[in-house]
Structure formats: C-alpha cells, structure tokens
Chain A
Amino acid sequence: AQTIHQWPVAEIKAVGSPLSLGCTIKGKSSPNLYWYWQATGGTLQQLFYSITVGQVESVVQLNLSASRPKDDQFILSTEKLLLSHSGFYLCAQGDSGNSDYTFGSGTRLLVI
C-alpha cells in the first residue's frame, strides 16, 4: 500500500525566515508528485507537480520553490517567508490517468 509521510506536522515561523517542508512516498515507484496549499478558509490549490526526479513544474506562483531530489522525495521551500504563506500544505501522489490520488496528512504553517 502507498503511504505518504509529510514533515513537519506543524510549524510556527517568523516572516523572512527560511522554510523547508518534506514529503516521502513509499510503496510506489516513479510516482507523480504534487504540492497543494490551502489558506485558512480558502480553496486547495495545486502549487507544483513533478513527473520524474529533477523535474518540477510550477502551477501557481507564491514565491515558493519545489525540488525532487529523489524518486520518493518532494521538497517545498523558500528562503524568505511571507505572512501570506500561512496555511495548510498537502503533498499528494497520483497518476495522470484515472487512478486515485493519495494525500499526506499535511503540514500546518503559521507565519508571524
């Protein structure tokens, strides 16, 4: 069975500080990976997707970046956090066809 582990579970960070959120996938080789973000009370938006190691496509610009250093790892980061980065971040894996997506349990981020 596929599992997705996200870390950290929650973070409180200062404006201007760096951020790194991680996601590892087990039980599936060469997965398609996605980062989603949800502002408090807002809609889930797809931020990035990656089909293969080293390749990441940006969907929404939020002054964030993503990298895929290994087949089973997806990293979301920024060097300088903004207040608007607060929210809930979800990592997901899925196929471009009709297979179900699997979501991680998310990281709650508060920027102060």
Chain B
Amino acid sequence: QQKVQQSPESLTVSEGAMASLNCTFSDGTSNNFRWYRQHSAKGLEVLVSIFSDGEKEEGRFTAHLNRANLHVSLHIREPQPSDSAVYLCAVNYNQGKLIFGQGTKLSIKP
C-alpha cells in the first residue's frame, strides 16, 4: 500500500529564517509530487509541483526531489507569520490517485 510520511509533525521557525519540511514516500512508481498549504481546514493552495529529480522553485518555495531516496522536501525562504499553516505533501500515482501525508503544522514567530 502506498504511504506518504511527513516530518516533523510540527515546526516553529522565527520570521526570516529558513523553514524546511520533509516527506518520504513508499513507492517509486509515483508520477509527480506536490506541496500544498492549508489554512484552518480551508481549501488547498498548491505551492510547488515537481516531476523530476532535482530542484523546483516557485517564489519563496523550493522543492527538492530525490526519487532514489524516496524523499521530497520543501524549503520556505524568508517565512512570514502569514505562512503559518499546515503543509501537505501529496504524491500522484496513475489514474489520478493522490496520496497525502499527514501534514506538518508550521508556525512562524514574529
């Protein structure tokens, strides 16, 4: 069964410092990977989609993918208090199957 595991469960970072979130997946047949943000159980905001090994940057958000290590990470540059939210890693498999991690709750201290 495909599984997605995120770490840490929660993270507090000072405003302006780099925030780093991790995600491991169990199945190397995945098509692509996405990072989403969710504010207080509202809809999901897509941050970065990455398909190939390496790095993908979208504004202050950078994803790193290493399929051999079954690992994808998200780095947030110069985080602000408004970036406080739950961050979700999602792995896309065939037939539109999207498996989510349990989320990392990120808090940014002013």
A contact residues vs B (CB 8 Å cutoff): 32, 34, 36, 38, 42-46, 49, 59, 88, 90, 92, 94-98, 100-101, 103-106, 108
Contact = CB atoms under 8 A, between A and B. Distances in A.
Contacts of A34: 96, 98
Contacts of B34: 100-101
A59 B31 CA distance: 19
A100 B41 contact: no
Contacts of B98: 34, 46, 92, 94, 101
What is the interface of chain B mostly: helix, strand, loop, or mixed? mixed
18 contacts: A32-B96, A34-B98, A42-B102, A43-B101, A44-B100, A46-B97, A49-B95, A88-B41, A90-B44, A92-B98, A96-B95, A96-B96, A98-B49, A100-B34, A100-B46, A101-B34, A101-B98, A103-B43
A105 B102 contact: no
Given A88-B41, A104-B43, A106-B42, A98 B32 contact: yes
B24 to A, nearest CB: 15
B92 interface: yes
Given A43-B102, A46-B99, A96-B96, 20 more contacts: A38-B41, A42-B102, A43-B103, A44-B88, A44-B100, A49-B96, A88-B41, A90-B43, A94-B96, A94-B98, A96-B94, A96-B95, A97-B31, A98-B31, A98-B32, A98-B49, A98-B51, A98-B92, A101-B98, A108-B41
